[in-house]
Amino acid sequence: MIKALITDLDGTILFNDAFPEVVREGINTLIKNGVKVYIASGRMLSSIYHYHRMLGLDTPIIAYNGAMIGDKDLNIIYHNPIEYSLWYQIFNMLLEEDLQINLYFNDSLYIFRKNGYGGNYPIQNKVPAFFVDKIEDLPELPTTKVLGIGDPDIVRKVQVQLKERYNSNLYITTSSPTYLEIMNRDVSKGRALSILSSITGISVSEMAGLGDSFNDLELIMDSGFGITFDNAPLELKENADYVTGLSSPEGFREVVDFILWKNLY
């Protein structure tokens, strides 16, 4: 029995800052049939909240790839950040490359060295930001996430360097070719499922995880039923329990049909 769908946002159900009708209809169908719908995204909690309200959801929100969970009123109910001493080392590595560096403190955004790949980040994510150009202007506090934004070739290079040096101490992934996401080593969307389970009483085995990018791999692997689309990376499709025949967003109708079929039979 699938009691909950935990779905990624961008590229999975959200396209060009809007929800296609097939997604809206599908989510409404799931809810009418008793299936709870939750959003799990790499975005900030306050950014996800905007879309959460658009869909009329009242469920907890998994933000920052699982480093933070908030309730429907934006109260933080779980948080697992990177300590200052560690993120400062990462910051200095990113500083050597032509990357914009985003840091997040208690769901407030600080942007260091704005560039063409990420300069519109606050507008795109519908959140305010502090633009700083001095390291001294950054809070000496734990950060929920470090995000490096830039040319895909540089992102790939830095990802390899970080994994060689910090792989056992950090969770390092990409949510797009230009976004390098760095979190606490105990963080992932998959790990967040157990926290969500303790909050909701729904077993992880009764959760379906849906995503389309590399930061969704653990969500797909660790949920009771991992689902992805035909146009997802091969690694996701190899680890999913169900792969749609259509690409996203059209494939979302197949996702809904699969869940309803599993619950019927």
Per-residue pLDDT, averaged over 128-136, amounts to 94
pLDDT in tens, 215-247: 999 999 999 999 999 999 999 999 999 999 999
DSSP string over 206-244:
GEEEE-SSGGGHHHHHHSSEEEE-TTS-HHHHHH-SEE-
Are 10 and 62 in the same domain?
yes
Query: Which letter, b or e, does each residue of 158-188 get, where b requires 16 or more Cβ atoms within 10 Å of its Cβ?
Result: bbeebeeebeeebbbbbbbebbbbbbbeebb
Structure tokens at 17: 């800052």
Are 89 and 167 in the same domain?
yes
Structure tokens at 95: 């500083």
- Assign 257 to helix, strand or coil: helix
Are 90 and 178 in the same domain?
yes
CA R_g for the chain = 18
pLDDT in tens, 66-124: 999 999 999 999 999 999 999 999 999 999 998 999 999 999 999 999 999 999 999 99
Q: How far apart are CA 64 and CA 89, in angstroms?
A: 20
Q: Whole domain around residue 255: which residue ranges?
A: 4-79+187-264
Are 227 and 242 in the same domain?
yes
Helices (H), 16-109: 21-32, 45-54, 84-95
Give the chain's domain count: 2
- Flag whether pLDDT at 64 surpasses 90: yes
Provide the CATH number for the domain around residue 125. 3.30.1240.10
Q: How far apart are CA 160 and CA 162, in angstroms?
A: 6
pTM value surpassing 0.85: yes
- Flag whether pLDDT at 5 surpasses 90: yes
According to DSSP, the β-strands at 108-112 and 100-105 are antiparallel
Confidence of residue 261 (pLDDT cuts 50, 70, 90): very high
Structure tokens at 134: 């001095």
- Flag whether pLDDT at 265 surpasses 90: no
Q: Final residue of a domain: which of 184, 200, 227?
A: 184
Q: Final residue of a domain: which of 154, 184, 214?
A: 184
pLDDT in tens, 160-211: 999 999 988 999 999 999 999 999 999 999 999 999 999 999 999 999 999 9
- Assign 20 to helix, strand or coil: coil
